[in-house]
Copies of this chain bind each other. A is one copy, B any other.
Amino acid sequence: MNGPDSRVAALDGLLEEAGLDAVLATKDASIAYLSGFWGLQMERFFGVAVKRGGAGALIAPTLDRESANSAPTSLERLLYPAAISNGLPELIAFLGDAKRIGVEEDHLNFARSVALREAGYELVPATETIMHLRAAKDAEEVEAVRKACVHIEAAYDELWATLMPGMTEAEINARIAFAMMRRGAKHCEPHILFGTHSADSHGTPGERKLEVGDVVVADIAGQFGDGYWGDLTRCASAGPPSDWAQKAWAVVHEAYVDAVAATRLGNTTIDVDAAQRAIIEAHPEIGACLHGAGHAIGTEVHEPPFLIPNWDEPLREGMIFTVEPGIYNSDVGGMRLEDDVLVGPNGPVMLSTHPLELRIL
């Protein structure tokens, strides 16, 4: 069996223990994992349904018939005309007698859940079941994330060669997105922010110009090849780093080293977060700890499990996480270091290798 078909078989193998008659995957990334098909959902319904015993179907609008039909899967195709159907009648006809249906509870929307319940189905949270498979990456998936990281590292080389005082956030983010897309990125999310703006790690790049004395937080994520993401962050100082920048760098680097070391078998998601949190939170005079240690990464840039205090899950071999401690101070800016780390049999394996330094521009 090919990759997607063997994953459908593996998922089927989990249904009995989970007490499910069938499972319905609706996230783009789960659909792609189980079928090799990447859709563009917008308002339309897409799904992969697998019944206990292994019968499965890919449900998509006829609009996507070319990609759906050429996907490397032996799933039945249920293509519906979106102009006259919302796809649920086709799903329901397929599900038939299967009544207890696992769904991705963090994705399926309320309207569709109500329609399925009213059609007589019992919906059961099954994100954990699906992510049990998706979370442990095989060798091919690990290489796909590593390749995405190589592309991102090339983008950093271009960033450091290009960025100088006077350039705007919009300009450098556009250039880096271009570099990523030319290297084959399907999606890319550069968040390169300057000075105090970098304290807002999800801020939108704007017309702010880089000034001497600014810190730079450069978060670059991109999805390549068959759909696997890499996600890295490095920091810089425009001109000699301030006292704050030097101290923030030292704290974040220490937190990074400890959190990477904690990304190993025998630990849980909480342990990795605790490793960075202990260090960041010991320095409130420098800034605040605003997020967890990171998140799993694969066919989604953020996917479960999450490295946060309220997510408790043992690490398993083949999981890949971003490890990304950060510290944030509204008056000065942010500092964050991020690499992608595989949970290997003998400890953490770095999938990204860009130099760890506070770059001086």
Contact = CB atoms under 8 A, between A and B. Distances in A.
A288 B107 CA distance: 31
A170 B182 contact: yes
Given A63-B291, A111-B105, A204 B174 contact: no
A330 B64 CA distance: 11
B202 A40 contact: yes
In this complex, which of A62, A103, A127, A174 has the most chain B Cβ atoms within 10 angstroms of its Cβ?
Answer: A174
Interface string A102-114: 0111111111011
A78 interface: no
Nearest to A206: B184
In this complex, which of A42, A61, A330 has the most chain B Cβ atoms within 10 angstroms of its Cβ?
Answer: A42
A330 B104 CA distance: 33
Interface string A165-181: 00000110111011001
Interface string A314-337: 000000000000000010000000
A190 to B, nearest CB: 9
A306 interface: yes
A84 B302 contact: no
A84 B310 contact: yes
Interface in A40-99: 40, 42-43, 61-67, 82-86
Contact of A63 (B43, B184, B201): B201
Contacts of A114: 105, 125
A203 interface: yes
A239 interface: no
A338 interface: no
- Give the interface size bracket for A toward B: 35 or more
Q: How many protomers of this protein does the assembly include?
A: 2
A186 interface: yes
A67 B84 CA distance: 41
A290 B170 contact: no
Contacts of A104: 110
Nearest to A67: B200
A200 B277 CA distance: 47
A144 interface: no
Contacts of A65: 200, 290
Nearest to A308: B83
Given A182-B171, A304-B43, A200 B105 contact: no
Contact of A291 (B83, B86, B108, B178): B83
A202 to B, nearest CB: 4
Contacts of A201: 63
A123 B110 contact: yes
Nearest to A85: B310
A81 to B, nearest CB: 8
Interface of A: 38-40, 42-43, 61-67, 82-86, 103-111, 113-114, 123, 125, 127, 170-171, 173-175, 177-178, 181-182, 184, 186, 199-204, 273, 277, 288-292, 295, 301-302, 304, 306, 308-310, 330
21 contacts: A39-B202, A62-B288, A63-B202, A63-B290, A64-B202, A67-B200, A83-B277, A84-B308, A84-B310, A105-B109, A105-B111, A106-B111, A110-B110, A110-B123, A111-B127, A113-B113, A170-B184, A171-B182, A174-B181, A175-B178, A177-B181
Instruction: State the 9 A-B residue pairs at the shortest beta-carbon distance, nearest first.
Output: A174-B181, A66-B200, A105-B111, A178-B178, A40-B202, A110-B113, A108-B110, A105-B110, A42-B302
